[in-house]
Amino acid sequence: GRGGGERGVAGPALEKMPFPATTPGSQQTPLPPKFYGISSPISLAAPKETDCVLTQKLIETLKPFGVLEEEEELQRRILILEKLNNLVKEWIREISESKSLPPAVIENVGGKIFTFGSYRLGVHTKGADIDALCVAPRHVDRSDFFTSFYAKLKLHEEVKDLRAVEEAFVPVIRLCFDGIEIDILFARLALQTIPEDLDLRDDSLLKNLDIRCIRSLNGCRVTDEILHLVPNIDNFRLTLRAIKLWAKCHNIYSNILGFLGGVSWAMLVARTCQLYPNAVASTLVRKFFLVFSEWEWPNPVLLKEPEEQNLNLPVWDPRVNPSDRYHLMPIITPAYPQQNSTYNVSVSTRMVMIEEFKQGLAITHEILLSKAEWSKLFEAPSFFQKYKHYIVLLASAPTEKQRLEWVGLVESKIRILVGSLEKNEFITLAHVNPQSFPAPKENPDKEEFCTMWVIGLVLKKPENSEVLSIDLTYDIQSFTDTVYRQAINSKMFEMDMKIDAMHLRRKELHQLLPNHVLQKNKTHSENSVSVPSPASTVKTGPVTGSSQGRNSPALAVMAASATSVQVTEVTLQQGNPGESPGGASESVPQTASQAAVSPPPKPTITRLVSSTLLVNHAPRPAGAAATNIANPIVGV
């Protein structure tokens, strides 16, 4: 295949060894002059003995995290996919017979399961799900996939939890096959038969296809291109495993919340491999942080020159599409039609990620100098020690099934809230933690299933003002309106589905979060580099109940309840006795100085939005009788 000819250049032993890069010696012959990517490499240096030792240490560090799958588990997945592949072939033969195709065609009709995502890239973790694509010939319709194939799966003894999501943007059948979660997409190609050696990267396959089939093919085409665009697949895989684990530990792995998802991290690692084609994983991890802490966003990350195929499909191109000019951190998929995989990234999420890249660079530099071990890279910074102000979002529903649907919808809209918080002149940054938590029930006697998310805030201090009053009612109200409106329009809304939001200070989080969550890695928070914030960032200390004897400015966060116009003021003191002056650090709590301060009285939780008012939105009738629901966020 394209770019595949160079795969064997580093010696035949490469193909057989799971992590070839760690063995010094003959197989590190430099690559031929052919280079990968849209620019020449930064360095062609071959690895030194120390790099190979550090790579071996990296592998040892990764093992306990469960990111390296055992051979037995891998064989089990291969067996499951074989069974699924046989089911597909059998089903397509049955369909072909029912549609009276000639026997000669039926004999060779084919049909195939392709995989994509982390499994296809070879970087899946223990127990991870598999993304699969069912490719069928032209006489098999999408409706057949969701009826007869679904029915065939239902009869299979190893298939559990079968559900079809036919109306999704990318329609999918989800199931659990012998304990492994699998998502299966469907694509019908304009071919009479599906050959075993079909290469989905062939752009001509897209001609005259239904848009849903093009979208379904995209995952496979992108994954296959990435694998063909890196100089050494094994080095790429090990580096990507390390970077994905690091991103998850540091709470920046989530496409839906505006960080990066799996395919985006894979493309950043692939670009690093292109720039350092002979480097082993220990070097590549360090260079990854170097390249992307210095990257001049919004310049796009490209793995190859985009090609135009004249199939009139929308592609990412800021010269043509004005909306593409506003993307903050473009990482462009290498297969036609090229898309930006990071359109959800916001000012805040980019700021958080760049700060993490810089911190990763500092840690890998220490590792290189033997001042730290690899484990330091995977220590989770304590999100709940990092900020002084938090917004807690609660989503609740009366049954577990409804909670799953409701939580999915609310989570997909949280970035809208983050976007409007960022626009608030007094908020420098809003960092949503991708991890959600079970929330305590409001009413212990009532059956209720509740999930919560926590957003850390960095606040600015206005000039010449002693009190900072921030009214977040509007931001939160417009967010909840958007969620309720969408739930009603998609006929998903049920009574007693609720969203609540509240403002809490760091010291009040214990009211909602269990201690083991708050304490997790608290000891490491002293090392955590804080979010970059301008010198004007508010420094608020512990709450002492009154402001006597202090001339430092106080900060009031106002929250108007949606049901009444009464305003609640929460006044916070500024200036911890033990804190150093200057506003650069918004992170670590000074535990020593806090002990000297009397404990705060149990604070009342300030609700920013009451859900009662919002539940009463009637479904909107059409035409002139339409209910007038305020829509403060334009163009959501």
The pLDDT of 208-224, averaged and rounded, is 96
The string of DSSP letters for 451-462 reads: EEEEEEEEEB--
Task: Assess whether 49 and 85 both reside in one domain.
Answer: no
pLDDT for 360 equals 98
Residue 544 in domain: no
Structure confidence at residue 143 as a pLDDT band (50, 70, 90): very high
Task: Assess whether 73 and 179 both reside in one domain.
Answer: yes
Judged against a pLDDT cut of 70, whether residue 608 lies above it is answered with no
Out of 183, 234, 481, 500, the active site residue is 183
Strand partners, 557: 470, 570
The pLDDT of 495-520, averaged and rounded, is 86
Task: Assess whether 303 and 201 both reside in one domain.
Answer: no
Judged against a pLDDT cut of 70, whether residue 252 lies above it is answered with yes
Task: Assess whether 326 and 452 both reside in one domain.
Answer: no
Out of 119, 144, 234, 253, the active site residue is 253
Task: Assess whether 168 and 281 both reside in one domain.
Answer: no
The reply to whether 116 sits in an annotated binding site is yes
Q: Which residue has the tokens 């002059």?
A: 33
The pLDDT of 237-266, averaged and rounded, is 96
Out of 129, 141, 203, 471, the active site residue is 129
The reply to whether 129 sits in an annotated binding site is yes
Peptide bond into 298 cis (omega under 30): yes
Q: What is the largest CA-CA distance in the chain?
A: 93
**With 0-12 CB in 10 A as exposed, 13-18 as middle and 19+ as buried, what is 289?**
buried
CA distances from 129 to 72, 132, 145, 175, 180 (A): 16, 10, 21, 10, 6
Active site residue 118: yes
Return the percentage of the chain with pLDDT > 70, whole number: 75
Question: How many separate helices (H) and strands (E) can be counted in the chain?
Answer: 18, 14
Active site residue 253: yes
Judged against a pLDDT cut of 70, whether residue 20 lies above it is answered with no
- Which token pair is 553? 């400015």
The reply to whether 262 sits in an annotated binding site is yes
Pick the last residue of a domain from 480, 502, 517. 517
Judged against a pLDDT cut of 80, whether residue 437 lies above it is answered with yes
Task: Assess whether 210 and 266 both reside in one domain.
Answer: no
Residue 604 in domain: no
The contacts of residue 576 (CB under 8 Å, 6+ apart) are: 539, 541, 542, 590, 593, 594
Judged against a pLDDT cut of 60, whether residue 551 lies above it is answered with no
Active site residue 183: yes
CA dist., res. 280 & res. 343, Å (int): 31
Judged against a pLDDT cut of 70, whether residue 341 lies above it is answered with yes
Residue-averaged pLDDT of the chain: 79
Residue 375 belongs to domain with CATH number: 1.10.1410.10
Judged against a pLDDT cut of 50, whether residue 135 lies above it is answered with yes
Question: Which of 223, 230, 228 is CA-nearest to residue 263?
Answer: 223
Q: Write the single-letter amino acid at 287.
A: K
Task: Assess whether 249 and 372 both reside in one domain.
Answer: yes
CB-CB contact of 454 with 437 (8 Å): yes
CB-CB contact of 114 with 166 (8 Å): no
pLDDT for 491 equals 82
Judged against a pLDDT cut of 90, whether residue 533 lies above it is answered with no
The reply to whether 131 sits in an annotated binding site is yes
Residue with the bigger pLDDT between 45 and 23: it is 45
Out of 112, 244, 461, 498, the active site residue is 244
Active site residue 481: no
Judged against a pLDDT cut of 80, whether residue 636 lies above it is answered with no
The pLDDT of 56-78, averaged and rounded, is 93
pLDDT for 520 equals 64
The reply to whether 627 sits in an annotated binding site is no
Structure confidence at residue 68 as a pLDDT band (50, 70, 90): confident
Phi-psi region of 616 (alpha: psi -120 to 50; beta: other; left: phi over 0): alpha
Task: Assess whether 222 and 233 both reside in one domain.
Answer: no
The reply to whether 141 sits in an annotated binding site is no
**Among 110-119, 425-434, 604-613, which stretch is predicted with the lowest mean pLDDT?**
604-613
CB-CB contact of 511 with 454 (8 Å): no
CB-CB contact of 564 with 412 (8 Å): no
The reply to whether 161 sits in an annotated binding site is no
Judged against a pLDDT cut of 90, whether residue 474 lies above it is answered with no
**With 0-12 CB in 10 A as exposed, 13-18 as middle and 19+ as buried, what is 154?**
exposed
Residue with the bigger pLDDT between 524 and 568: it is 524
The reply to whether 125 sits in an annotated binding site is yes
CB-CB contact of 499 with 631 (8 Å): no
Active site residue 203: no
CA distances from 114 to 184, 249, 541 (A): 9, 30, 55
Out of 96, 118, 382, 530, the active site residue is 118
The pLDDT of 210-217, averaged and rounded, is 96
Task: Assess whether 170 and 268 both reside in one domain.
Answer: no
CA distances from 104 to 227, 232, 559 (A): 36, 42, 73
CA dist., res. 205 & res. 195, Å (int): 13
Structure confidence at residue 466 as a pLDDT band (50, 70, 90): low
Strand partners, 503: 391, 606
CA dist., res. 223 & res. 487, Å (int): 33
**What is the number of structural domains in the chain?**
3
The pLDDT of 200-224, averaged and rounded, is 96
Q: What is the pTM of this model?
A: 0.76
Structure confidence at residue 635 as a pLDDT band (50, 70, 90): very low
Return the percentage of the chain with pLDDT > 90, whole number: 57
Residue with the bigger pLDDT between 100 and 561: it is 100
27-64 confidence digits (pLDDT tens)? 444 445 567 999 999 999 999 999 999 999 999 999 99
Pick the last residue of a domain from 196, 226, 256. 226
Residue with the bigger pLDDT between 212 and 606: it is 212
384-418 confidence digits (pLDDT tens)? 999 999 999 999 988 888 888 898 889 989 999 99
Residue 422 in domain: yes
The reply to whether 183 sits in an annotated binding site is yes
Q: Which domain holds residue 211?
A: 69-226
